[in-house]
Amino acid sequence: MIKFLQIVVILALLLGLAACGSSRPDARKAANEFFQKIGESRFETAYDNTAFAFQAQTSFKNFQATAKELGLTAGTVTCNWTQEETKEREVKLQGDVKAEVGTAVPVIVTMVKERGDWRVFSLHIPNQTEKREEDRFTLLGKGGSFTSSANQEVPSLKLIQELVLKSLMMFNDAIARQSFTQFYSKVSMAWQNQLTEGQLKRAFQPFIDAKVDIHEIRNLSPVFTTPLQIGSDGVLIVKGYYDTKPYRTTFMLRFIYELPYWKLYGVEVQLEN
């Protein structure tokens, strides 16, 4: 599987990171130490030891606030890993973490080898009710409530198809140009307030280096895999795929309404077998 973000930003496969069977205990140890630092309220140390892609998606302030919300800051943290998935260049751990005071928090953490150490690349909280994973830390397409969006009706299918194609072609063009200047100028102000053009460029540099190109989606129709609806936070989330060859192009795009248009608020893209 070749992955590339989304903004949701998935860099592990393209970063040239190394992982092997003998490194799995080190990855688990690094994950345990990460949560222990949070338990001891050593937020700066924990944040500094995360992968670059993680930091590109969330600010330190948001990281600290979210960690506190999850109740992981009460002393010694115990990690209980029940599942482990090792891919070519990453280790994905699933289980739960629990502070001395509080309830166990289910987590799915992906570790990658970066700058010689195992670091947290992504951290998701499984949503049992909706049977999905939620990245509580990412800034890519998440934030406060947007009243103007929440009061909007779901756009027509035709408009959503146009929004998806336009957004993904903007993304593709930014990769080809090796510059996110135009891309950044066209996304929502809300998203611009969360990260800089420089952060986007750095987050996507591996895609630029790999010369990723998805231009063939222009000749295909997207297949949407979830209902098209606007959440209580006013964010329109669109998930689906283009049946490209040899890899299927899957996506999750977020939009918010900024008078008078729907604008991009987050993007995740993957190439899958």
> pLDDT over 90 for what percent of the chain?
31
According to the model, what pLDDT value does residue 175 have? 93
> 122-140: per-residue pLDDT in tens?
887 775 443 444 455 554 4
> 59-113: per-residue pLDDT in tens?
777 788 777 777 777 778 889 999 888 876 789 999 998 887 777 888 888 888 8
256, 234 Cβ separation under 8 angstroms: yes
Q: Is the pLDDT higher at 150 or at 62?
A: 62
Distance CA 203, CA 53 (A): 6
* Cβ-proximal residues to 15 (8 Å cutoff; 6+ apart), any chain: 53, 89, 112, 114, 206
pLDDT band at 33 (very low <50, low <70, confident <90, very high): very high
From the number of C-beta atoms within 10 Å of its C-beta (0-12, 13-18, 19+), residue 261 rates as exposed
Distance CA 262, CA 250 (A): 21
Distance of CA 89 to the CA centre of its chain: 18
Instruction: Supply φ then ψ for residue 244, to 5 degrees.
Output: -80, 160
The region of weakest confidence among 15-19, 33-37, 112-116, 154-158 is 15-19
According to the model, what pLDDT value does residue 15 have? 34
pLDDT at 170 over 70: yes
> 228-255: per-residue pLDDT in tens?
988 767 889 999 999 998 889 999 999 9
120, 54 Cβ separation under 8 angstroms: yes
Q: Could you tell me the two tokens for 184?
A: 């950044």
List of domains in the chain: 2-134 (3.10.450.50), 147-272 (3.10.450)
pLDDT at 153 over 60: yes
According to the model, what pLDDT value does residue 133 have? 47
According to the model, what pLDDT value does residue 51 have? 84
